[in-house]
A and B are shown apart, each in its own frame.
Chain A
Amino acid sequence: MKIVHYVNQFFAGIGGEDSAGTGPELRDGATGPGRKLASLLGDEHEIVATAICGDDYAASHAEFAAELVAQARERGAEMIVAGPAFTSGRYGMACARIAAAASEAGLHGLASMHPENPGLGEAAGTAVVESGETARQMKDSLERFAAAALKMAAGEELTAQDGRIGPVARTNRLAEKSAAERAVALVLTRLGGDRDATEIPLPDFDSVTPAAPIADAAEAVFALVTEGGFVLAGNPDRLESARATKWVRYSLDGLDAAETGKFESVHGGFSTQWANADPNRILPLDIAREMEQEGKIGRLHGEVLATTGNGTTVADARRFGMEWAADLRQQNIQAAILTAT
């Protein structure tokens, strides 16, 4: 079987964080960890090319995955394997997305990452196998990855025994009894001494280590970002007022303040009357410009990134966060002020 292997800029040998903005490309043959992977896959399979993209580029240009999958198909690939991404969030998200894009295009798609990688949620049902935490566990991780790829190439389903990880889908159905009756029954079960009975397993949330404080605000570039449903008047991009699945960006160049009538809020979770009367109260552009002029902050970034935080799923919110971070890093922003509503 012809296989294309995906790695980020680091494992392709292009560079570290300073090269994270590298765009997508396909190179002939196996590269980096792909060489060892190719030997583990044996003679029946061939890594015909390595797909590469910088982590920041991939996180801020979701279309990279479809582009690379299309190029892989031109090379005759029947399978795309991505990773191992270990615990690296943006790399994990890219691996999950390209594996998912491969599946969507009718190819075999497989990714490898640590179970706590925040990118895992992007796999959309495509198979992901467990890797170690860091590249120090590269050897074991590649062995498991190759074994899973061989099984997948043979047309078999991957299970937890193969190291398959990832969120398990929960689907709606009608219970025999109403929620109220089940709650009363659960009270009796709990009073009877069963301390584990529940219908919803508790989710695990990752904790994020805050970035180090900026040394000198007067030298730093600040971005304003918001989940306040902040849009251009008339909402030309149709940002959702609830359950947002996307975010928008608007230029702030040449604006001294968020003018009334130019911007508005479409947030469905609070009365937008005062936000629309003065959009600076959602996005404090007026104050930020003053601080910029007084030299209290170095410079204000020329774009606002905005979404709506109202009934938004944790998975989508996490994705927005990773995409925003990548987008801002690519433009050398040192600080972001996120106004929440």
Chain B
Amino acid sequence: MSHTTELNDKLERLRNGSQEAREQLIEHACERLRILTQRMLKKFPGVQRWSQTDDVLQAALLRLHRALATVQPNSAAEFYGLAATQVRRELLDLARHFSGPEGIGANHKTDTGSIVGGKGEQDAEPSNVEGWSRFHNAVEALPNEQRQVVDLVWYEGLSQPEAAEVISISLATLKRRWAAAKMTLCEVLEDWAVE
């Protein structure tokens, strides 16, 4: 079964109220949260060990699962949108948890060096947890159409054709929105860097 066919099958079962399909989608969202959390924290020198980060991630995963287990979405797009929103909000919470003087990161550091890492000009990927907070907030502030695409492609990790299928738009339209979103986000991150 091709991936797209599999996705279609899953979405169809979700529409028909299948609990198993829902759980698979929730599991997928949890996996995305785990992956994105690792990505967010990997360059944070204060949080290099997972002994405590995992505790917090476990709690976030439970909240995510609980939130998604009880929603009654009318469509797959709505479900994915809710999942991405929950993932983003958990990431924001995690960022808050790990940053700041009372954050867990404080216990991991053995010196008082800056937590802000240097970045090359060619890459606007946030290099610290504060930067990630800014990024997630910037996504939240995107126009709906752009945010929907970022939700599916970045937070949910769908391919562009899959994302286009989920929200029933052409691939070209999706690409256009994806590019527009990235440019908007770049502006926000650059503005912040200048500040």
Please indicate whether A and B come from the same complex rather than being unrelated chains.
no
Q: Chain A residues in contact with chain B, CB under 8 A?
A: none
Q: Chain B residues in contact with chain A, CB under 8 A?
A: none
